[in-house]
Amino acid sequence: MIVGGGAYTAWELTEKRKAAARAEKNSAKEVRAKMGKDMEKLMTERLDADGRPRRTDFRLETGKSATTHAERAREFLNGYANDVVAVQNEYLASVEKAGLDNVFDLNRMAADPTFQETDRILEESRAATVTCLRKLLALADNLPKRLDEHGFDEAIKRDILQGYNEGKESPNSMLTETWNLELSLLDEMKKLCDHLHATRSVWTLEDGQFVFQTEEARKKYIEIQERIDAIDAQKSQIQQEAQNKAMKRFKAMQQ
- Domain-located, residue 8: no
- Domain-located, residue 219: yes
What range does the domain containing 110 cover?
34-43+60-253
- Domain-located, residue 230: yes
- Domain-located, residue 2: no
Report the predicted TM-score, pTM, of the whole model to 2 decimal places: 0.80
Q: Which residue from 214, 184, 197 is spatially nearest to 109, judged by alpha carbons? A: 197
- Domain-located, residue 94: yes
- Domain-located, residue 53: no
| CB 53 within 8 Å of CB 95 | no
- Domain-located, residue 64: yes
Phi, psi of 9 (to 5 degrees): -80, 165
Per-position pLDDT tens, the chain of length 255: 444 445 555 555 554 455 544 544 545 677 777 777 888 888 888 888 777 889 999 998 887 776 777 788 888 888 988 999 999 999 999 999 999 999 999 889 989 999 999 999 999 999 999 999 999 989 988 888 888 887 777 777 776 676 555 544 443 477 788 899 999 999 999 999 999 999 999 999 888 889 999 999 999 999 999 999 999 999 988 888 877 887 787 777 676
What is the domain count for the chain?
Answer: 1
